[in-house]
A and B are shown apart, each in its own frame.
Chain A
Amino acid sequence: MTPVPPLLELIGITKRFPGVIANDGVNLELRRGEILALLGENGAGKSTLMSILYGLYRPDEGEIRLAGQPVQIGSPALALRMGIGLVPQHPVLVGRHTVAENLALGVGAAVMPAQRLEPRIRALALEYGLAVDPRARVSDLSPGEKQRVEILRALLRGAEVLILDEPTSVLTPQEAESLFGVMRGLRGAGKSLIFISHKLEEVLQICDTITVLRRGRVVGNLPVLGATKEGLAELMVGRSVNFERKRVSPVCDMPLLEVTDLSAKSARGLPALRDLSFTLHRGEVLGVAGVAGNGQSELIEVLAGLRPSTGRVMLNGRKLEGGAAQRFKAGVAHIPEDRIQMGIVPTMSVAENLTLREYGAAPLANGFWKDANAIDQNAQGAVKTFDIATPSIHTQARLLSGGNIQKVILARELAGNPKLILAVHPTYGLDIGATDSVHRTLLERTTRGAGVLLVSEDLEELMSLSDSIAVLYHGSLHGPFPVNSVTKQQIGLMMTGANFEPVGAA
């Protein structure tokens, strides 16, 4: 008897784009009832490989075998027919329609498609623990529920292989846990899953085997047993990565930022911040957790001088007031949420973007006149200090990678040795290497006495960088708590509104 061939096999897949080899002789094996992690940094070729598998691209070389038979996957429709389903990172659903109506698209009967699909939806939902009401309107669902709808869609089409593209990036820890439960159920039922992620903890927690891509090549293919976070990170990045972030020096006791009874309204005029009070000390990283839309953006905007507020904000014992420019001068740096839409002018050069804050003052300007030499010198200095990879300082900023754009912003914001650094999702979408350098830069500033207010949806990041953590829920602040007095699960619960007093918090 010959051994059972793997359910899905990629052999020597190569895909070239002008100037890049996105996949270079990639081999991959997926067995029935297995969860395979596909790990890799941004640009490693994960998405290209999955697009090939889902019929969006055709490989230039190589072969795809399904249950031992070579196949050509020419389109997503064909992929679905062959039992390959994709759960996209951001759900593609019609918000105004119900769950059943969304799912009936493409598979429903001609007459009353949604209603006739409901029993099947309920049965599948029950089987795999994908609790979702078929009659609920999609716009009312949480991100986790929308994702379940996408999984249901793939299952309805008879998917045997499910590709999950960074599924936890939009979920709270609790939702992620419940997703893992679903994934285990699917594996138990004999489905095969490909889990794309760059969160190493999750990969180690849920997967059976791991395939690591780097620059389009497979650099590692290993069982999860015996794999370590450090080892995987090294495979991904190509050099060793130190996850130790904690500083030795204790946070000093001098208050830097004192916020009292701070309230503000959202852009729609609804209360977004309700009587916030907290203190941030010199050299401290205060992490602010919360599900997006609970007031994080407003808090940062208020402190950065972009949104009116009531209440009292003191920086170093002095009242912090005025607009964005005035506050920057007072020592408030702002690493904005949307680095491309807000943090840079994409069509302007790197050098010009580096002057966005102080273009009008010496040495960058001489009164009314810009000093081109000083601007270039400033840019060359920043490129060197912050190791910005750019073809030239006169390259348009939009042509840089996300990590390098963030470095441009950091270089500009940190140039004047700010006292307070407001950092919002500073590593969102960055690969491990760039994330590492952003983290190091921020921590290095705290050793010089700066305070960091860090807003992030990545709890791992918050827990590893912060000295204390607070949770924003519906505009109210819980905490801050010393970071070692709370667990990730407790933070997750507070993010969903549960009241909680950590034991050690006094």
Chain B
Amino acid sequence: MRFTPLLNPSRWRTLQVSSLAVIVALLIVGIVFALSGVNPLTAYWEMLRGTLLDSRGLAEVARRMIPLLLIGAGLTLAFRAQFFNIGAEGQLLFGAMAAGAVALFLPITPLTLPLMFAAGALAGGGLALLAAWLRQRFAVNEILSTLMLNYGAFYLMLYLIGGPWKGKNVRGFMYSDEFAAGAQLPMIPNTLVHYPTLVLAILLAIALQILLTRTTLGFELRVVGENSSAAKYAGLKTSSIVTIMALITGGLAGLAGVGEVAGIHHRLLEPGQISLGYGFTAVIVAWLARGNPGLTLLTAPLMAVILAGGDVLKISLNLPFRIVDVFSGVMLLCLIASEIFITNKLVWSRAVKPTGSGGAS
């Protein structure tokens, strides 16, 4: 048994391998279900019934899909440029804080909501830009810096809601005051689906796909990501390209934060309850989409089903909610492990043939 490299793997193969990876992940999680005393088939059936086959469940999926789609689409762009942004959690929180500042401290006008989105995008983008700048100026690995900045954002928010931004009417709780009605997003009745953000997310995912494939900026971004020395050789302005990319990827995470606080919570509260791990789950969304922002329109709902399904499992089968983390972890692991099967073919042969790289040279 050995790997032989495939020179030119087709897109079809990518799809096959990725789907297979998802199936393998489902099998492994099935074992986890079995170990915790639940029939895997029951668990999966419950998940399906409680999400896609139920109108309230469907709304729950849509609500979860909004931040995943926004962040995931932005991350595909970052991954394409070889900028491994693991800090969407923090960027989301920065977006939420900026939106909170606008909602709480500026006069409420018809422009309040657009202003919240703009401020959130800038704040999230700014945080990603900090990591990008650190990488360009001091060669700080962006995986570490973005990950660490998550903690910075988390505790900054805790400080704000427990200190200067603590609501006047919330007694002992760590909340801000509730946003005024003019700073709240409309929702589809009886759901938590703040549809303006949903529409925005879908439009942005499509726009990013167009940006990547049809524009000169998209071309530059790919050159920088796929061969940075060629970018330097051709005289591309790498630093400004990376700056724009960071603003986009962080900005979209910031928008997701705005959507969460303006659409669902209507106030700033404990950061973990706002971000809910969307920033990390979106990494899987982006990875599954293989760097195509447009494909997050498919992969974001998939992960949203799993997140919403976790809630269902908690309620109907009394499983711990953390089962969702197991799900995400196994899924990501399987996807990363499946990479090798995209570029290589597994050959089963018992004969101990000497393995050459093949071909005459």
Contacts and interface: CB of A to CB of B under 8 A. Distances in A.
Contact of B223 (A306, A345, A368): A345
A328 B232 CA distance: 13
Interface in B178-236: 214-220, 222-223, 226-227, 229-230, 232-236
A96 to B, nearest CB: 27
Given A17-B359, A22-B359, A369 B234 contact: no
Contacts of B235: 305, 323-328
A328 B235 CA distance: 9
Nearest to A328: B235
A360 B216 contact: yes
A51 B222 contact: no
Interface in B347-361: 353-354, 356, 358-361
Interface string A192-236: 000000000000000000000000100000000000000000000
A372 B210 CA distance: 13
B237 to A, nearest CB: 8
A396 interface: yes
Interface stretch (A3-11, A122-130, A334-342, A471-479): A334-342
Interface string A14-25: 000110101100
A216 B230 CA distance: 35
B233 A334 contact: yes
Contact of B8 (A47, A326, A341, A399): A399
Given A56-B356, A348-B223, A343 B233 contact: yes
A132 interface: no
A44 B360 contact: yes
B7 interface: yes
Contact of A336 (B7, B223, B233, B356): B233
Contact of B216 (A56, A327, A341, A370): A370
Given A368-B217, A370-B219, A22 B233 contact: no
A306 B215 contact: no
Interface in A367-415: 368-370, 372, 396, 399
A359 B229 contact: no
Given A325-B234, A325-B236, A57 B356 contact: yes
A22 B360 contact: yes
Given A341-B227, A345-B227, A399-B7, A369 B359 contact: no
A20 B360 contact: yes
Contact of A324 (B232, B358, B361): B232
A379 to B, nearest CB: 14
Contacts, number: 96
Contacts of B216: 359-360, 365, 368-370
28 contacts: A18-B358, A20-B359, A22-B360, A43-B360, A43-B361, A47-B360, A47-B361, A51-B356, A304-B233, A324-B232, A325-B234, A327-B235, A328-B234, A336-B233, A338-B229, A342-B230, A343-B230, A345-B226, A345-B230, A346-B226, A356-B230, A356-B234, A359-B216, A368-B216, A369-B214, A370-B215, A370-B218, A370-B219
B360 A17 contact: yes
A150 B8 CA distance: 37
A425 interface: no
A357 B217 contact: no
Contacts of A326: 235
A326 B236 CA distance: 10
Most chain A CB atoms below 10 A, which of B222, B232, B235, B236 = B235
Contacts of A33: none
A305 B235 CA distance: 8
Given A325-B234, A348-B223, A368 B354 contact: no
A45 interface: yes
Contacts of A370: 214-216, 218-219
Interface string A409-435: 000000000000000000000000000
Contacts of A368: 215-217
B234 to A, nearest CB: 5
A344 interface: yes
A328 B7 CA distance: 33
Nearest to A51: B356
A342 B229 contact: yes
B350 to A, nearest CB: 16
A17 B356 CA distance: 10
A184 interface: no
A323 B359 CA distance: 41
Interface centre among B216, B229, B233 (most CB of A within 10 A): B233
Contacts of B215: 368-370
A168 interface: no
A371 to B, nearest CB: 10
Contacts of B223: 345, 348, 356
Nearest to A16: B360
B360 A58 contact: no
A10 B240 CA distance: 60
Nearest to A336: B233
Contacts of A342: 227, 229-230, 233
A20 B18 CA distance: 31
A352 B219 contact: yes
Contact of B230 (A22, A44, A48, A344): A344
A197 to B, nearest CB: 15
Contact of A42 (B230, B236, B361): B361
A347 interface: yes
Nearest to B8: A399
A48 B234 contact: no
A325 B220 CA distance: 13
B155 to A, nearest CB: 40
Given A57-B356, A325-B234, A343-B233, 15 more contacts: A17-B358, A17-B360, A20-B359, A45-B360, A48-B360, A325-B235, A341-B227, A342-B230, A342-B233, A344-B230, A345-B222, A345-B223, A348-B226, A360-B216, A360-B220
Interface string B322-361: 0000000000000000000000000000000110101111
A328 B217 CA distance: 20
Contacts of A356: 223, 230, 234
Interface string A126-144: 0000000000000000000
B89 to A, nearest CB: 30
A422 to B, nearest CB: 11
Contacts of B220: 359-360
A342 B358 CA distance: 26
Interface string A34-66: 000000001111011001000011100000000
B234 A357 contact: yes
Contacts of A355: 219
A23 B353 CA distance: 17
B356 A306 contact: no
A295 B55 CA distance: 70
Interface in B244-266: none
Contacts of A365: 216
Nearest to A19: B359
7 interchain residue pairs of minimum CB distance: A325-B235, A324-B235, A22-B360, A345-B227, A47-B361, A342-B233, A360-B216
B311 to A, nearest CB: 40
A460 B356 CA distance: 33
Contacts of B219: 352, 355, 359, 370
A23 B218 CA distance: 45
Contacts of B354: 56-58
A348 B223 CA distance: 8
A342 B361 CA distance: 23
B222 A306 contact: no
Output the residue of A51, A58, A356 with the most chain B CB within 10 A: A356
Contacts of A58: 353-354
A344 B216 CA distance: 17
Contacts of A372: 214
